[in-house]
Structure 1
Amino acid sequence: MFPDTDNEALTAENARVASDFRDTSLSPEERAELLLKELTLPEKISLMMDVSKPVERLGIKPYNWWNEALHGVARAGLATVFPQPIGMAASFDDSLVYQVFTAVSDEARAKNTHYVSMGSRERYQGLTMWTPTVNIYRDPRWGRGIETYGEDPYLTSRMGVQVVKGLQGTNDGKYDKLYACAKHFAVHSGPEWNRHSFDVENLTPRELYETYLPAFKSLVQEADVKEVMCAYNRFEGEPCCGNKRLLTQILREEWGFDGIVLSDCWAINDFFSENGHKTHKDSASAASAAVLSGTDLECGATFESLTEAARKNLIDEEAVDRSLKRLLKARFALGEMDDPGEVSWTKIPYSVVASPAHDSLALKMARESMTLLLNKDGILPLKRGGLQVAVMGPNAKDSVMMWGNYNGMPARTVTILEGIQSALGKGDRLIYEQGCPWVGETLLESVFSKCRSEKGPGFTAQYWNNVNHEGVADVENQVLTPFNFCTSGATVFAPGVNLTDFSATYRSSYIPEVSGEIVFDLYSFGKGRLTVNGKELLAFHNHHGGNRQSCSMQVVAGKKYDITLDFEYLQSDAQLNFDMGFKRKVDIARSVDAVKEADVVIFVGGISPSLEGEEMGVDLPGFRKGDRLSIELPDVQRKLLAALHDAGKKVILVNCSGSPIGLVPETVTCDAILQAWYPGQQGGTAVADVLFGDYNPAGRLPVTFYRDVNQLPDFEDYSMAGRTYRFMTDKPLFPFGYGLSYTTFRYGTVRLDKTTVADGEKLQVTVPVSNVGNRDGEEVVQLYLHKQNDEQGPVKTLRSFKRVSIPQGQTVDVQFELSGKELEWWDDRSNTVKLSPGTYKLGVGGSSEVEMYSSFTVLE
């Protein structure tokens, strides 16, 4: 069919032609065409996986396609950490999202230039960023909902478009800045525990096109996103990464996408694996089916079987070339193949990384994400001066929680405890009492922060890219916080460390201040041992998933204890969680007594990215593989809040989560509730600014806060009936778009410039909004539509929004222009989303509970 071995040495003529692809005066497409002609089949296939191998005879260097930038450059050391995307969505400020991701792209380019200058081209160092996640957050139990921009197709589209535009930037006249990636295409939102075998079926065309596809379409057609990642699950019987309807018919043919389609990591393996879809008999048939359906790049190594597939006539060279050409074109367009000195983007200085300007931007975004849900009798903002404040809860001084997931490492994190401490005025006093953990009845008073190695605070970590600690360590760094390492979701333990087949040694020393029994807590999937002063204290060897183990020993105050923890990878997803400290049972009465002198208790609770996230290894009560089985606040926190209330304390709940929490009892036991999300490196400052009135909150919920799971359909049901504010008929705890301010806004009469709209026309909507309160503030003005006599359609759906600043006592005319996508609706006659004739109701207000009163007609 065609050769599967390297060509013999190039002739002089071939050498001349081969040099042409290096001609930078040619277009990326022309250069890709020329290079294709010079590659053998094995070379072509080697360039179609995330770890693209070098072709040394042609001077092509290796390239790793995998990089992450969910809310800052991730998993590559130092970077600015912005709020988690669900928190950014709460800002309802797409222009600020654009600024954030412009900063992220500057940092990504600067970091890439730095790595390349050192001859390094590893994972998390490239120019192709696998973000944003624009799946619809259809169910609050989904762990990965924290990576999304909420439950609404329009809000997700607007935010996602600005992410892509900020990341990809502009073309400098010759080279692209970065590539963004829309993921996970297309009908994908949990559960995590069965995503490798789950089939989404019985979805109506309307639900597909009206709910699950709009954000992806907007990113493709408005933002010109360069990459699309297909999902793990099946859709209508076919794995998404081999799904002709999704990848060929919709993405390529209907939308005209000619960019790169890449697989989620090892998703092609699921085609044939015993625990996967089992839709294909072997790797060769799976790899060929993926490419023929439109997947160009694999995260994984199943594409190595394309050679075998070619021998079996399952695929031909033309199909391989079609996919590879897109990949080569991208590498040329990014300047990755060329001299860095010729690429203007390499002039971005490394000093932008974690810069003061980006820190300020992280603070601005954190402030705008703060969402005030409850404020009884105006208890907030707090008044300084002789105030005794107690700070409690498991998230008060947890910096790791604030980073979310898919994160980088900030130069500094302001915890919520630190933010409150800094915000206190003259004569104010702070009491800190953690009180309880996230879940369970046992509290570990960690002493990790008091450990110090020869290299500095924390533990010195050494990593080898082999399983036997052989040779000189490949990577060395300092670990400053309790370990929370896991390769689930393809996250390496540290930049430069293998995902599999690696080993590690962690060393530090601890000198206790008091004598007693110290506890070492481990949760591991792998092999290793814990040694203290040369004596093995604990050995672990877990073949069948993660296992929690602990051990204890008596320590003497003032004595030095040298601690060594060795770890070796075994198989599957490696995991190593480690902390040490003195354990005690939660004593609610003692904790309440400890804060008895406080005028107000700020309880910083909720959950953590350690509990909710992507296919996680930790299964605790109420959680499964990162998903939640219940949406309630964990019981131990609920009990402590109730006890504080019963003791007569004024309680402010700062809830940190990436998902809606059922807070029905807390609306009784708490006097105020501030939803802080996972707010990034400046989250502590932002929270304190709101609590003490230095910033007037204006965040709005991008997801419905349900009362409890009884308001939810079955988790595995992808139908939209009863889901989200768009199709929910029951009353939620807090509705989509909801959030309070320290001032009051009053809406005037909505004015439409016309009552009929024809194809190609625009509808102008104006509403006067007055700030009638006693301070300046921002209002998120939201516009919703509903089509009359559309029984299967949404109750209402967001079609525009503006975050506007309105000074005290002033009125602003807020104007909206509806056209194109804003006016499109499902059309039963054509089975498409288009300008659909009929009568529509329109409502403008401060949440999705707005009254729908104005009306207009779309003409035939």
Structure 2
Amino acid sequence: MRARQPLTAIVISLIALLLLQPLHAQEKLPYKNPKLSSSERARDLISRMTLEEKVGQLLCPMGWEMYERKGNDVTYSAKYKALIDSQHVGMFWAVFRADPWTKKTLANGLTPELAAKAANALQQYAMEKTRLGIPVFIAEEAPHGHMAIGTTVFPVGIGLASTWNTSLQEQVFQAIAKEVRLQGAHIGYGPVLDLSREPRWSRVEETYGEDPVLSGAMGAASARGAGGGNLKNPFSTITTIKHFIAYGIPEGGHNGNSSIVGPRELQESFLPPFKATVDAGALSIMTAYNSIDGIPCTGNGYLLNDVLRGAWKFNGFVVSDLFSIDGLMGSHRVARSIREAGTMALKAGVDADLGARPFSELPLAVKEGTIKVGVIDTAVFRILRLKFEMGLFEHPYVDPAQAKTGVRTAAHITLARTAARESVVLLENKQGTLPLSKNIKRIAVIGPNADTYYNQLGDYTAPQDRSNISTVLDGARAKLPHAEVLYVKGTAIRDTTQTAIPDAVEAARNSDVAIVVVGGSSARDFKTEYIETGAATASGESVSDMESGEGFDRSTLDLMGNQLELLKAVKATGKPLIVVYIQGRPLNMNWAAENADALLTAWYPGQEGGNAIADVIFGDYNPAGRLPISVPRSVGQLPVYYNKKIPRGHDYVEGPATPLYAFGYGKSFSSFVYSDLKIEPADKGFTISFAVKNTSTINGEEVVQLYLRHNVASTVQPIKQLKQFRRLQVKAGETVQVNLRLSDYDLSVINPEMKRMVEAGTIDIMIGASSEDIRLKEAITIRDTASLPLYR
């Protein structure tokens, strides 16, 4: 006979059995009830979790090794199973990423259909093979398109900013979000809201330029396009904005170096773009690698707790940049160990550890008494609430068939072409050189960026099938099917051993006109070395084209290699010279500005860039792109951003202090006249109206810009500051009435006591076509001083 078990043993066995049951056997648990609020469900789930399970939700390791592909079948990898089983990981980064760093290629990476299958396999294991059945978050790089194979590649951030078109920006990020979600991911890293006031810095291309108002407007449009924080929309993503904060002004232009910025300038310029984008629905913020006044941004409790969550009421979660928590020990040396770095970051308000090393030691920190479980619970709640809000517990899977047909659709490709066309900035057009006639018999297309298709795309781009990318050469051939189009590369971006300048000269001599495409490249290749964060390192072992992109900081802004020699040689033929800069930062354009018959920049225009540039050159599109960043004459001028504090700098011994091309500048094939400025008081501000007439015979677009300047204020103010802008379509001969509004916040300053005030006095209102091309001006008078909350 079997001996009876004691009652206590039976109870313990039943409890253990219940805990080990798969999720489907626990349907009545409150966190499984979709009728409860997301907050209620998250709190109930947290109450059932072990400390190790809680910490697992805060870990975000790299994800491209989490699947195994065998032909058209994809399943989870042994490494994924081990991470879920041992560390209960709740979030993965870059599962679908493909590039030389991840060693995922067109051959072994994931198509959109396979990506969806991979996501389903990861979710199935997490949902069905774990004690609590918590779905995983998948976070993906998506600053100008999802960084995965088979997706749509839009212009980089600095190009999108050149459109000055927030409506278009919304459409672009709506498309990106849909492609991310169709493949089974949930979080999109981007937009990048760092103000770029240091063009030597390697990541200028990712940003929206030097101005807080333009950056904030584009960032907010990105968040709205990605769903505006409404996670119940099946194609909404969690928008992760980065990098918090002042990352784009590193000392010496060195990526990740400390940033010198005061608390007032932080409030006036660097925080507003993030605030605008949070208000538009961004639910995740990434910390920055840099420090400010001795405090690393990944450990800055004032910024993350007091400002972000206290003053702004941000209700999303904060994620570290990759290994930036580790950097509290290794880079900044404010922590003695990885564990101390983890507790420091968590207390400062970081919720998720991208890289997953310091936070993995949080259970030991709890046992040592250096961190309380309640602090961990708070971070876990912020992440789990969004998983419930997104409906992942009920709908964790996606349809691979929809991913196959819904990613890189014809509509998205058309949108990419529209964005690329609107991003092209026409800088010079002497004697009306452009548009070119399509009756040209012979044309030379020359240069390192004329047909190097990866150089069109920018950083954070996956491997591409050549047929999906249009280069300038492709665009020219499509426009001129009956002409002879001669192509010579001429030289490389950096490598001076790759030269065919005599061949380029011969092609130009034998042509009616020469298009020379120069600039830079962020195209990563297998020759480039990478550190563990994915940033590239400059190496003397091989010469790639890369001179921009994360990790490629510059000491000059000159064209590299033999590019200037190429330009001069082609110019010497006497043939009309059209120069196109494809670039990730404002490179030196002095020679081209003086000698080219026409000069354009398209930044990195994305997969449809070549067609878009050809649309402009051959007159099928009238350009209206405007510079979101000043183009300096020399690095000796830096910084040269337009809204520096007064007084205006005097000229140098060697030359002007002004930039070569100012913020907001750009030409058109049309001409516009501004008139009839009227300014009227309105509730808590002013309304401004004026007329814009297209005086040409060509339909066009104009970007009207409103700047203001305080004549006297309690603190030193900018020379001028953009406050409103509008991109208008104006037909030939048509007059369009423009109405703008200035709010009390637009008119305010932050006084010596760090209080926001609308101060009595006069303010100059300036309307123009760029920061240096002011067409209308009138002063307004503020009669009474008023106090405002620091944040709107």
Query: Within 5 A, what are the aligned runs for 1:333-412?
Result: 333-340=389-396, 350-408=404-462, 412=468
1:773 is matched by which residue type in structure 2?
S
Could you say which residue in structure 1 is the equivalent of 2:754?
831
Partner deviation per Cα, 1:128-149 (whole Å, 9 max, x = no partner) = 1111110101111111111011
Cα shift readout 1:768-811 (whole Å, capped 9, x = no counterpart) = 11100121100001111111124721111111111101110111
Determine the structure 2 residue equivalent to 1:28: 38
3-state DSSP of counterpart to 1:200 = coil
Gap change, CA 1:789 and 1:820, over 3 Å in 2: closer
Question: Are residues 1:166 and 2:225 paired?
Answer: yes
Shift of 1:354: 0.5
Is residue 31–residue 45 contact of structure 2 (8 Å, CA) maintained in 1? yes
Letter in 2 for 1:281: R
Change (3 A) 1:839 1:193: closer
Residue number in structure 1 paired with 2:275: 217
**Residue 303 of structure 1 pairs with residue 376 of structure 2:** no
- Give the aligned residue type for 1:289: M
1:255 CA displacement: 1.2
1:677 shift after superposition: 0.9
Partners in 2 of 1:646 and 1:235 — Cα distance?
Answer: 50
CA drift of 1:400 comes to 0.9
Give yes or no for the alignment of 1:424 onto 2:424: no
* Matched residue SS, 2:632: coil
Alignment of 1:170-185 (within 5 A): 171=230, 177-185=236-244
Please give the TM-score of this superposition, normalised by the length of structure 2.
Answer: 0.81
- CA separation of 1:432 and 1:67: change in aligned 2, threshold 3 A: same
- Inter-partner Cα distance in structure 2 for 1:740 and 1:830: 43
Map of 2:593 onto structure 1: 667
Contact 2:232 2:389 in 1 (8 A): no
| Aligned positions of 1:128-143 closer than 5 A | 128-143=187-202
Map of 1:96 onto structure 2: 168
Corresponding position: 1:111 with 2:183 = yes
Match of 2:678 in 1: 751
The 8 Å contact of residues 673 and 694 in structure 2, kept in 1 or not, is answered as: yes
Matched, 1:607 2:520: yes
Supply the AA of the counterpart residue of 2:509. Answer: K
Corresponding position: 1:287 with 2:381? no
User: C-alpha deviations, 1:30-77, integer Å up to 9, x for none?
Assistant: 111011011111111111111425584434256254311111111x21
User: Using the alignment, how far apart are the partners of 2:258 and 2:510 within structure 1?
Assistant: 56
Equivalent runs, 1:185-334 vs 2, <5 Å: 185-189=244-248, 191=250, 198-201=257-260, 203-220=261-278, 222-273=279-330, 276-300=331-355, 301-334=357-390
From 692, 708, 711, the equivalent of 2:637 is: 711
SS at structure 2 position matched to 1:357: helix
Q: Is the 8 A contact 1:77 1:408 kept in 2?
A: yes
Answer yes or no: is the 8 Å Cα contact 1:91–1:698 preserved in 2. Answer: yes
Describe the shift of the 1:155–1:619 C-alpha distance in structure 2 as closer, same or farther (beyond 3 A).
farther
Specify the code of the residue in structure 1 equivalent to 2:758. Answer: L
In structure 2, what residue type is equivalent to 1:767?
A: F
| Secondary structure of 2:729's aligned partner | strand
Distance 1:635 1:356, change over 3 A: same
Q: Decide whether aligned partners of structure 1 residues 196 and 844 sit closer, same or farther in structure 2, where only a CA change above 3 A counts.
A: closer
Q: How does 1:5-154 map to 2 (within 5 A)?
A: 10=15, 19-51=29-61, 52-53=89-90, 54=126, 56-61=129-134, 63-74=136-147, 76-112=148-184, 126-154=185-213
TM superposition shift of 1:405: 1.5
Cα contact 1:49–1:298 (8 A) shared by 2: yes
Task: Sort the Cα spacing of 1:440 and 1:725 in 2 relative to 1 into closer, same or farther, 3 A.
Answer: farther
The residue type paired with residue 24 of structure 1 is P
The one-letter code of the counterpart of 1:709 is V
User: Matches of 2:190 and 2:231 in 1, distance apart?
Assistant: 22
Quickly say closer, same or farther: Cα 1:329–1:784, change in 2 above 3 A: same
Give distance in 2, aligned partners of 1:156 and 1:644: 38
SS at match of 1:842: strand
Q: Are residue 734 (structure 1) and residue 734 (structure 2) matched?
A: no
Distance 1:777 1:196 in 2: 39
* CA-CA distance at 1:309 after TM superposition: 1.0
1:835 Cα deviation from its structure 2 partner: 3.4
2:653 maps to which residue? none
Deviation at 1:390, TM superposition (A): 0.3
1:794 corresponds in structure 2 to: 718
Give the AA of the match of 1:702. Answer: P
Distance in 2 (alpha carbons) for counterparts of 1:681 and 1:283: 41
Change (3 A) 1:316 1:592: same
Of 824, 827, 842, which aligns to 2:765? 842
Compared CA separation, residues 623 and 685, structure 1 to 2 (3 A): closer
Equivalent residue letter for 1:270? G
Answer yes or no: is the 8 Å Cα contact 2:164–2:726 preserved in 1.
yes
Contact 1:80-1:409 within 8 A present in 2 as well: no
Structure 2 letter corresponding to 1:50: C
After superposition, the Cα gap between the structure-2 partners of 1:12 and 1:678, relative to the gap in structure 1 and judged at 3 Å, is: same
User: Distance between the aligned counterparts of 1:434 and 1:180, measured in 2?
Assistant: 40
Root mean square deviation, CA, Å:
2.7
AA at the equivalent of 2:471? T
Cα displacement (A) at 1:595? 2.6
Counterparts in 2 of 1:840 and 1:347: CA distance versus 1, 3 Å: farther
Contact 1:86/1:147, CA 8 A, preserved across alignment: yes
**Is residue 2:684 matched to residue 1:764?**
no
Contact 1:143 1:192 survives alignment (8 Å): no
With over 3 angstroms needed to count, the CA separation of the structure-2 counterparts of 1:349 and 1:111, relative to structure 1, is closer
Q: Distance in 1 between matches of 2:188 and 2:481?
A: 43
In 2, are the aligned partners of 1:725 and 1:735 still within 8 Å (CA)? no
Where does 1:624-639 land on structure 2 (aligned, <5 Å)?
625-634=551-560, 636-639=562-565
Structure 1 residues 378-435: Cα deviation after superposition (integer angstroms, max 9, x where no partner): 1110012143210000011111111211124566111111001111164x22111111
Q: Quick one: structure 1 residues 310 and 340, their matched pair in 2 at CA, closer, same or farther if it must change by over 3 Å? A: closer
* Closer/same/farther in 2, CA of residues 8 and 136 from structure 1, 3 Å limit: farther
Matches within 5 A, 1:674-685: 674-685=600-611
Higher helix share: 2
Distance in 1 of aligned mates of 2:472 and 2:608: 9
Which structure 1 segments of 5+ residues have no match?
Answer: 1-6, 113-125, 444-585, 714-721
Report the alpha carbon displacement of residue 335 of structure 1 after superposing the two structures with TM. 1.9
2:574 & 2:352 partners in 1: Cα distance? 60
With over 3 angstroms needed to count, the CA separation of the structure-2 counterparts of 1:632 and 1:193, relative to structure 1, is: closer
Give me the TM-score of the superposition, normalised by structure 1. 0.75
Task: Describe the SS at the equivalent of 1:627.
Answer: coil
C-alpha contact (below 8 Å) 1:141/1:628 kept by paired residues: yes
- Superposed displacement of residue 850, structure 1: 3.2
State the alpha-carbon separation in 2 of the partners of residues 347 and 440 from structure 1.
44
Alpha-carbon separation, structure 2, partners of 1:174 and 1:663: 45
**Larger RCO (CA within 8 A; separation ≥ 6):** 1
Note the C-alpha offset of 1:827.
2.5
Q: Which residue is 1:645 aligned to? A: 571
Residue 700 of structure 2 corresponds to residue 774 of structure 1? no
1:653, distance to aligned residue in structure 2 (A):
0.4
Matched residue, 1:702 = 628
Distance in 1 separating the partners of 2:547 and 2:472: 25
Note if contact 2:231-2:237 (Cα within 8 Å) is conserved in structure 1: no
Asked if 2 retains the 8 angstrom alpha-carbon contact of 1:18 and 1:58, the reply is: no
Indicate the structure with greater strand content.
Answer: 1
How far does residue 853 in structure 1 lie from its aligned partner after superposition? 2.4
Counterparts of 1:742 and 1:206, CA distance in 2: 41
The aligned residue for residue 8 of structure 2 is none
**Is the alpha carbon distance of 1:384 and 1:65 closer, same or farther for their aligned partners in structure 2, counting shifts above 3 Å?**
closer
Q: Which of 566, 582, 592 is residue 505 of structure 2 equivalent to?
A: 592
Deviation for aligned residue 1:602: 0.1
Supply the AA of the counterpart residue of 1:661.
L
1:439 counterpart = 2:365: no
